[in-house]
Amino acid sequence: MISISLTVNKQVYQVEVEEDLRLIDFIRDKLMLTGTKEGCGEGECGACTIIMDGKTVNSCLVMAFQAHGSRITTIEGVAKDGALHPIQQAFLDVGAVQCGFCTPGMVLSAKALLDENEVPNRHQIREGISGNLCRCTGYNKIVDAIELASSYIKEGQQDETSSSGRQ
Amino acid sequence: MITKCIRPSNLEEALEQLNQQGYDGKLIAGGTDLVIEIKHHPYEKSTLIDISRLKELRFIEIGETEICIGAGTRFSDIVNHPEMKGICAGLWEACSSVGSPQIRNAGTIGGNICNGSPAADSVPPLLALDAQVIIKDTTKTRTMPLKDFYIDKGKVAIEANELLYAIKFRKPKKDEYITFEKLGLRKALAIARLSCAVFISLGDGDKIEDIRIATGAMGAYPQREEALEKLLIGEVFDAPLIEMSTQEIFNIAKQRLGSRSSAVFKCEAIQGLFGKALRRAAKEAKSYDFHQFNS
Amino acid sequence: MKPLQVVGNRVLRVDGKAKVQGAALYPQDINMEGMLYGATLRSDKPHAFITIDLEEAEKIPGVVKILTAKDVTGHNHHGVLFKDHDVLCAEKVRRIGDPMAFVIGTSERIAKEALKKIKVHYQEIPAVFDPLEAMEERAPKIHGESNIIYHYKCRKGNVDEAFKACDIIVERAYQTSMVDHAFLQPEAGIAYMDEDGSVVVLAATQYPHFDQLEVAEALGLPTEKVRIINPAVGGAFGGREDITMQIHLALAAYLTGKPVKVVYGREESFYAHSKRHPIMMKYKTGATKEGKLLAMEVMLVGDTGAYASWAINVMRKAGVHAPGPYEIPNVKVDSYAVYTNNPFCGAMRGFGATQTPIGSEQQMDILARELGIDPIQFRLMNCFRVGSETANGQILHESIPLVQCIEAVKDRMFQELR
């Protein structure tokens, strides 16, 4: 066993893990955060996407011990105070969710994209989710949702500025 | 089976550990190939040495005449670098075409080189840039041409106690350009079925001062096509020369691939792929504006 | 009248909120106190008689029980049309991937370790992989006396006479490939014994009601003692219509009294479920020089692999759709479903209707080219309209918007090129 300490969804964990444990198994089986999905186990499908130190990675391709010292966001850490994140809301509003197995990874890829580029064009969105497969082939709706999420986020910021202006 | 994990905090410690572990030790950086090996196949080594977080291996240095890239540099570091696309387009294009955003965020250029895959995306452009690899162990640093680094499929000229530290190459100048072309089954997450990089230096009257051509997935490992280069150096770049050289690369592919099942497809495809890379490289090398950043 | 609440309004899907938060539970996300783990031993030979030696595997600490055919408490069979699958192969394997044993262990690692220690003695027998060869009298038989399990015939008019009147005849052969659904969620499930003595199976399935019948029959239980719960399903596309692990899990829970879970990886998922039927097609299509279709003769051979699954329905549908959406006065279709030792084929999006346009539409393009007629015009001259009669005699009374569809596509297609 090897000891690791890391932050997942803003909570600090100090745990012992098996040497050959993958990060996805740590997240799903030890932290019981089962929103992170395993679709292929070899980095082809993106269902296991998490955000690690600000960047998306396939958690099936990282060893758990390598995550020592890192800051991780999984799908469970995206909503704030029980309120859906604008990306999650947009996925719902557009109808971008079908079987839902790709959805957590898609949402995290979208989040990493929008965190870096607030107003991506459709091409950049497609590039941003190019590591995530949807077998229900709802890609157009997903691209629509990310576009909508981008506008939600901008509106939200305007609301914040205007409301703080009023205070 | 993996029974031991080591997280060295700096390069010196990593080299020390590598030396101590001997044949049992295996370096892990991005892990995008290695973790699959460990999970899905019986794995012969027992100790992983994690170098994914070593800052000393993660750098892009652009000097007056030379570019040096740390082996632990991730593909997305290269893709997002403000100057790399302008200075060595072909390498940038290759790095952008690796896997997916997730893979590029984890995978390193050093890992791509050391895995010795015939289809490694970043290697043909590095070969065409005539890159050198810098290899370290606890006592010494040695440098060798990348083209001599490949021994066979999955085999590279590195000892168990050695670590690939960095890759360096001469910075392309005005009138020089490098391109990369790749055929995959789709745009993202596609391993190269075939790839090709062309570096060209054009002189007055479109004379080819220098040219370096490298292919990927057209043999046991990525390689330079030096026989073809020799035919082109000193010649004037024109339509008959393009035709002659695509015919020649067909002959090379045919001879090298022999009776492999992919030969028919690859012999045909390499002509188009190489032709495209060559024409684009020559066109860009001629356009003066492109190299404004260098003046 | 009150305004409509649902029709004509945007409705958020009931499972949407859970899915965007990663809170929806797919079978692999469900764990139970004290559960055991299963792993399936699969054949790596396509056609062989087998004997299985469990001795060494059973000695591994943590191995609770290893199920083989003899442990099946009811009928050792299942299948949607024919009961041609063994739950666990008793004597013979018919394809690579056939399940032979199911290890139950205290951890996934132990169960998988035990798989490696099971010794299988294969007595290989000749196999057949080409469906045309499989149709021959002397071919190795996969099940019973013949590999041909279905022959659909459609006869309209007289093709032999009609071909004589054709100015042009195009004859070509086409082949489609086997396709996997690759739904994103690999199969997983968990089974346990309920307080009232029922077996409960949680698995992502397209047919909980069929699964209940199959599990009950294989376990020898009345259906009211079997419950199937369908949690979130990560895509199916036809690939979850056949049983994969449901009976193994039910049996394991029934015999151990404990919850038992199994999760397939992507590779095992490919072995476990059905594929789309590859179809070999021979088309002979004739028309007048003015471009009127007169006759079509088609032979289809669908390779259903080692098990029938929905082969009969699929190859019937393929036969019905073989002529395409065109009025042809003389049609002869023969569509066969054939067993081979390939992976088994069943339902997948389109159910046989997806494959035949590869043949019928290329025939249309070739005919148009040879006649010197624009391929779109050629289709418009022959396509179904209200009142058309299909090859199998159906009069299309309404809703045949094919002409509008072709014209809309034509306008848009060439707009982009302009």
A133 touches chain C (CB under 8 A): yes
CB C273 within 8 A of CB C187: yes
Cβ contact C22–A76 (<8 Å):
yes
CA distance C334 to A10: 64
Residues of A in contact with B39 (CB under 8 A): 22, 41, 60
Residue with tokens 């829970």: C253
Using CA atoms, how far residue A43 sits from A31, A58, B98, B104, in Å, is 21, 6, 12, 11
Q: Which run of H or E residues covers position B69?
A: strand B66-70
pLDDT cut 70: percent of chain B above it: 97
Enter the CATH code of domain A2-77: 3.10.20.30
The verdict on domain B176-294 having CATH code 3.30.390.50 is yes
Residues of B in contact with A112 (CB under 8 A): 101
The domain A86-162 belongs to what CATH superfamily? [2Fe-2S]-binding domain (1.10.150.120)
Query: What pLDDT, on the 0 to 100 scale, is given for residue B290?
Result: 45
In chain A, the residue whose alpha carbon lies closest to the alpha carbon of C186 is A39
The domain spans of chain A are 2-77, 86-162
Which subunits count as partners of chain B given 3+ CB pairs below 8 Å? A
- Distance between CA atoms of residues C400 and B235, nearest Å: 64
The partner residue sitting opposite A19, judged by closest CB among B4, B105, B189, is: B4
Determine the pLDDT at residue A80.
87
Q: Which chain C residues are Cβ-neighbours of A78 within 8 angstroms?
A: 21
pLDDT 10s digits, B226-267: 999 999 999 999 999 999 999 999 999 999 999 999 999 999
What global pTM score does this model have?
Answer: 0.94
Q: What is the pLDDT of residue C413?
A: 79
CA distance B42 to A22: 15
Residues of chain A with pLDDT under 70: 160-167
Which of A41, A44, A55 is the closest to B76 by Cβ?
A: A55
Q: How much is the mean pLDDT over chain B? A: 94
Q: Which residues of chain C have pLDDT under 70?
A: 414-418
Q: Under an 8 A CB cutoff, do A103 and C235 touch?
A: no
Q: Which two tokens stand for residue B196?
A: 């090709």
Closest CA in chain A for residue C204: A99
CATH 3.30.465.10 fits B55-170, yes or no: yes
Substitution target in A22, A130, A132, A134 with the highest count of B β-carbons within 10 Å is A130
pLDDT digits (tens, 9 = 90+) for B155-210: 999 999 999 999 999 999 989 999 999 999 888 888 899 999 999 999 988 999 99
| CATH class of the domain at C131-180+275-417 | alpha beta
CATH of domain B4-50: 3.30.43.10
Residues of C with CB below 8 A from A103's CB? 19-20, 22
What residue of C is the nearest CA neighbor of A82? C21
Helix A86-94 and helix A139-166: axis angle, to 10°? 130
User: Tell me, what's the pLDDT at C407?
Assistant: 93
Give residues with Cβ within 8 angstroms of B134, minimum separation 6.
B68, B141, B142, B143, B164, B165, B166, B167, B168
Report how far residue B272's alpha carbon sits from residue B293's, in angstroms, rounded to the nearest whole number: 31
Separation of alpha carbons C206 and C236, rounded Å: 7
Residue count of chain A: 167
Rounded distance between C-alpha atoms, residue C59 and residue C68, angstroms? 16
- If you search the block for the tokens 């149709």, which residue do you land on? C135
Provide the number of CB pairs (under 8 Å) joining chain A to chain B. Answer: 91
Which residues of chain A make contact with B105, given a CB cutoff of 8 A?
Answer: 55-57
- Residues of chain A in contact with residue B50, where contact means CB-CB under 8 angstroms, are 63, 65-66
What's the complex ipTM? 0.95
* Domain parsing of chain B, residue ranges: 4-50, 55-170, 176-294
Cross-chain Cβ contact B99/A43 below 8 Å: yes
Question: What is the structure's pLDDT at A164?
Answer: 44
Q: Specify the DSSP element, H or E, that contains B30.
A: none
Per-residue pLDDT, B87: 95
C16: chain A residues, CB-CB within 8 Å: 91-92, 97, 100
What per-residue confidence (pLDDT) applies to B293? 43
Give the residues across from C287 on adjacent strands: C168, C293
| pLDDT value at residue A157 | 80
B52 contacts on A by Cβ (under 8 Å): 66
The DSSP H or E segment spanning B266 is: helix B263-286
Contact B115, B31 (CB under 8 A): no
A128 touching B (Cβ < 8 Å): yes
User: Which among A45, A56, A68 is the top mutation candidate for probing chain B, defined by the most B β-carbons within 10 Å of its own β-carbon?
Assistant: A56
Any C CB within 8 A of A95 CB: yes
- The answer to whether residue A63 neighbours chain B at the CB level (below 8 Å) is yes
Closest residue in A to B101 (Cα) is: A131
- Chain A interface, mutation test: which of B33, B35, B46, most A Cβ atoms within 10 Å? B35
